[in-house]
């Protein structure tokens, strides 16, 4: 679906390139997370993929063609939700979507159906200027889905949303994936990337030093141990066991008969840990 | 997501126009300026005799209204151009232009729609006001003047977008820009030096209406040059606007 090879980019007047040598690919129906600290080059990468920046070196193919060979109907096949709400403040949610529907040459979804996807039907006739940031972000996402695109660019889609709303948004992303949509997610929220991405790439200083599935990366950067916390002493006692042959570890087996067990945790790294290690390397 | 519907192109443009109309109607300043743009030519037509008397009494100028008539025709262009330019600046400030660029219509399509709409409203309004201000003017000249005022409306909008970084700068710049309303008066000076005023698009309406008895260029050529100058300004401002957008 998307194939990026040896992508390099330098802004005019910049002394250093923003992207040095970026290579990755995304299959159809995959959720791909591009993670990295601020200034790493995430937005630049996204802008190149969305054909907003030219003058790059390397190969970028989308839908089986070089993106430079695609005409403007390319934008009927992609949907973009920006990090900042890009909406008409004085118009209502419905009027905003009607306006953006008019900007696509292809078919679009009925506005009510689209608003229902992000649970904004009841707010359809309220002006956007009265919306909270979370509501604006949901409408932003809604706008990106309006023309039922095959490929979605989502930049921090849950920003400004409370945990319950963020859960609804993440569920929607997973539903879109189940429908076969391909999703390119840029986020600082490692827990979110861990939950919804099939593959994540860490972008740092214009390079991708690490790429893989969240589960794989967490195992690679974590310890293969199990942590057991019991309430048999004050303060709570913590035991750590190597996962190797744990089923034959007498101390562990005896502990498993203990009624005071409070928790059992495998000690794989979180994506936060992986992120910090990548950034500090 | 099975119930996708395709909207025919004329309906799409109608939706855009409706959205712009709603957007303007909900901002008191934009609404006021849009409504006010109709008033100056009407007032001018109503009080032109009084204006002539005033000119005669205070400045010994017999037909003051003749010198000010091209300015009265241009006023709606500056006001409507400001509204259109301000909406475009708002699109850039509020990132909606960024979102528009990721649609098949694109920013060039959207700029074109906004500028054509501004030109049509400015030119359309001139169609009515020129009959009030110049009731005996040949219809061919009226059509050409409508085209020029329309082009002037789009030029004002694009100058704002090209030269202002944001809405606040746009407001400040519009004050400077409004001096252009007086540029047709340069054409009243009986000297070939006045033709240097021709670098400004608004000058040419004064030249076409022959505000001075000393003429250096035939009217037909003046009209031709006037359209050329407007097109050069439009192209230059569009190029700067697009470059500015790409560096956001």
The model carries a pTM of 0.84
pLDDT band for position B196 (cuts 50, 70, 90): confident
pLDDT band for position B49 (cuts 50, 70, 90): confident
Q: How distant is the Cα of B242 from the closest Cα of chain A, in angstroms?
A: 12
- A164-190 burial, b if ≥16 CB within 10 A, otherwise e? ebbebbbebbeebbeeebbbbbbbebb
The pLDDT, as a whole number, for residue B2 is: 55
The pLDDT, as a whole number, for residue A1 is: 85
Pairs from B87-90 (Cβ < 8 Å, separation ≥ 24)? B87/B20, B87/B23, B87/B24, B87/B30, B87/B114, B88/B114, B88/B157, B88/B160, B88/B161, B88/B241, B89/B160, B89/B161, B89/B164, B89/B166, B89/B167, B89/B170, B90/B167
Angle at the Cα of B144 from the Cα atoms of B139 and B147, rounded to 5 degrees: 130
CB-based contact, A95 to chain B, within 8 Å = yes
The pLDDT, as a whole number, for residue A76 is: 92
Q: Mean pLDDT throughout B69-85? A: 92
A86: tokens are 């890009």
* Contact assessment for residue A214 and residue A193, using Cβ atoms and an 8 Å cutoff: yes
Terminal-to-terminal C-alpha distance of chain A: 31
For the stretch B210-226, pLDDT in tens is 766 777 888 889 899 99
CB-based contact, A72 to chain B, within 8 Å = yes
DSSP H or E run through B72:
helix B64-93
B159 CB contacts (<8 Å, ≥6 apart)?
Answer: B85, B173, B177, B233, B237
CB-based contact, B104 to chain A, within 8 Å = yes
* Contact assessment for residue A147 and residue A76, using Cβ atoms and an 8 Å cutoff: yes
Q: What is the ipTM of this complex?
A: 0.85
Inter-axis angle of helices B139-163 and B64-93, to 10 degrees?
40
CB-based contact, B165 to chain A, within 8 Å = no
Angle at the Cα of A41 from the Cα atoms of B98 and A166, rounded to 5 degrees: 65
Q: How distant is the Cα of A139 from the closest Cα of chain B, in angstroms?
A: 13
* Contact assessment for residue A40 and residue A204, using Cβ atoms and an 8 Å cutoff: yes
Chain A residues lying within 8 Å of B7, measured CB to CB: 101-102, 108
Q: How distant is the Cα of A143 from the closest Cα of chain B, in angstroms?
A: 9
A–B CB contacts, 8 A cutoff, strictly below: 99
Full set of structural domains in chain A with CATH: 2-212 (3.40.50.300), 219-280 (no CATH)
Question: Is pLDDT of B21 > 90?
Answer: yes
> Maximum distance among all alpha carbons in chain A?
69
For the stretch B122-167, pLDDT in tens is 999 999 988 888 888 889 999 999 999 999 999 999 999 999 988 8
Strands of chain A (E only): list them: 2-9, 19-26, 31-35, 57-62, 65-66, 78-81, 151-155, 182-187, 199-204, 207-212, 225-230, 237-242, 261-266
The pLDDT, as a whole number, for residue B1 is: 53
Establish whether the linkage from the previous residue to A178 is cis, with ω within 30° of 0: no
Q: How distant is the Cα of B52 from the closest Cα of chain A, in angstroms?
A: 45
Query: How confident is the prediction for chain B on average, in pLDDT?
Result: 89
The pLDDT, as a whole number, for residue A161 is: 84
CB-based contact, B63 to chain A, within 8 Å = no
CB-based contact, A14 to chain B, within 8 Å = no
The Cα–Cα gap between B221 and A31 comes to 63
* Greater pLDDT, A115 or B209: A115
pLDDT digit of tens for each residue in chain A (281 aa)?
Answer: 899 999 999 988 888 888 998 999 999 999 999 988 888 888 889 999 999 888 899 999 999 899 988 888 899 999 999 988 899 999 999 999 999 999 998 899 999 999 999 989 999 999 999 999 889 999 999 999 999 999 999 998 888 888 888 898 999 999 999 999 999 999 888 888 889 999 999 898 888 888 989 888 888 877 778 888 888 776 778 888 888 888 888 888 888 887 788 888 887 778 888 888 877 76
Angle at the Cα of A5 from the Cα atoms of A72 and A61, rounded to 5 degrees: 25
Chain A residues lying within 8 Å of B102, measured CB to CB: 50, 52, 75, 78, 80
The pLDDT, as a whole number, for residue B247 is: 59
CB-based contact, B23 to chain A, within 8 Å = yes
The pLDDT, as a whole number, for residue B248 is: 55
Instruction: Locate the domains of chain B by residue range.
Output: 11-178
> Maximum distance among all alpha carbons in chain B?
76
Closest by CA to B235, choosing from B112, B103, B121, B107, is: B112
* Contact assessment for residue A159 and residue A137, using Cβ atoms and an 8 Å cutoff: yes
- Please count the residues of chain B: 248
Q: Is B103 in contact with A104 (Cβ distance < 8 A)?
A: yes
Mutate to test the interface with B, among A51, A74, A86 (most CBs of B within 10 A): A86
For the stretch A235-253, pLDDT in tens is 778 888 888 888 888 888 8
The pLDDT, as a whole number, for residue A4 is: 92
R_g (Cα) of chain B, nearest Å = 19
Minimal Cβ distance to B95: which of A75, A76, A84: A84
> Which residue does chain A place closest to B11, by CA atoms?
A102
Q: Is B96 in contact with A87 (Cβ distance < 8 A)?
A: yes
């Amino acid at each position: 679906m998307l194939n990026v090879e040896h992508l390099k980019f330098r802004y005019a007047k910049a002394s250093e390139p923003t992207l040095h040598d970026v290579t990755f690919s995304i299959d159809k129906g995959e959720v791909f997370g591009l993670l990295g600290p601020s200034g790493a080059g995430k937005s630049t990468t996204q802008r190149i993929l969305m054909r907003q920046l030219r003058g790059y070196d390397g190969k970028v193919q989308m839908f089986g063609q070089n993106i430079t060979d695609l005409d403007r109907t390319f934008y009927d096949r992609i949907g973009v939700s920006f990090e900042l709400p890009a909406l008409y403040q004085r118009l209502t949610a419905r009027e905003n979507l009607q306006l953006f529907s008019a900007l696509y040459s292809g078919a679009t979804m009925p506005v009510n159906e689209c608003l229902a996807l992000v649970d904004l039907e009841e707010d359809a006739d309220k002006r956007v200027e009265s919306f909270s940031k979370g509501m604006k972000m949901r409408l932003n996402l809604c706008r990106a889905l309006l023309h039922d695109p095959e490929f979605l660019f989502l930049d921090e889609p849950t920003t400004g949303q409370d945990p319950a709303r963020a859960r609804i948004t993440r569920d929607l992303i997973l539903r879109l994936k189940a429908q076969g949509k391909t999703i390119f997610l840029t986020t600082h929220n490692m827990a979110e990337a861990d939950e919804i991405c099939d593959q994540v790439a860490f972008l740092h200083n214009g390079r991708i030093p690490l790429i893989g599935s969240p589960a794989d990366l967490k195992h690679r950067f974590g310890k293969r141990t199990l942590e057991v916390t019991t309430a048999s002493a004050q303060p709570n006692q913590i035991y750590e066991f190597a996962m190797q042959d744990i089923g034959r570890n007498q101390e562990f087996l005896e502990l498993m008969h203990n009624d005071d067990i409070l928790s059992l945790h495998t000690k794989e790294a979180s994506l936060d840990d992986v992120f910090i290690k990548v950034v500090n390397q | 997501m099975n119930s996708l519907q395709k909207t025919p192109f004329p309906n799409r443009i109608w939706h855009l126009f409706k959205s712009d109309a709603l957007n303007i109607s909900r901002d008191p300043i934009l609404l006021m300026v849009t409504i006010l743009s109709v008033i100056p030519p009407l007032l001018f037509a109503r009080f032109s005799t009084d204006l002539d008397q005033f000119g005669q009494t205070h400045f010994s100028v017999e037909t003051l209204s003749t010198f000010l008539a091209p300015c009265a025709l241009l006023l709606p262009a500056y006001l409507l151009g400001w509204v259109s330019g301000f909406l475009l600046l708002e699109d850039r400030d509020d990132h909606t232009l960024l979102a528009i660029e990721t649609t098949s219509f694109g920013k060039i399509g959207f700029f074109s729609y906004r500028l054509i709409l501004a030109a049509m409203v400015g030119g359309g309004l001139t169609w009515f006001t020129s009959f009030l201000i110049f009731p005996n003017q040949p219809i061919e000249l009226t059509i050409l003047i409508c085209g020029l005022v329309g082009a002037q409306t789009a030029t004002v909008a694009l100058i704002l977008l090209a030269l202002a970084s944001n809405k606040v700068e746009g407001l400040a710049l519009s004050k400077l820009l409004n001096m252009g309303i007086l540029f047709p008066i340069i054409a009243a000076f009986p000297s070939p030096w006045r033709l240097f005023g021709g670098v400004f698009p608004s000058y040419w309406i004064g030249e076409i209406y022959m505000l001075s008895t000393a003429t250096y260029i035939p009217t037909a050529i003046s009209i031709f040059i006037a359209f050329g100058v407007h097109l050069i300004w439009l192209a230059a401002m569009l190029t700067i606007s697009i470059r500015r957008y790409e560096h956001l």
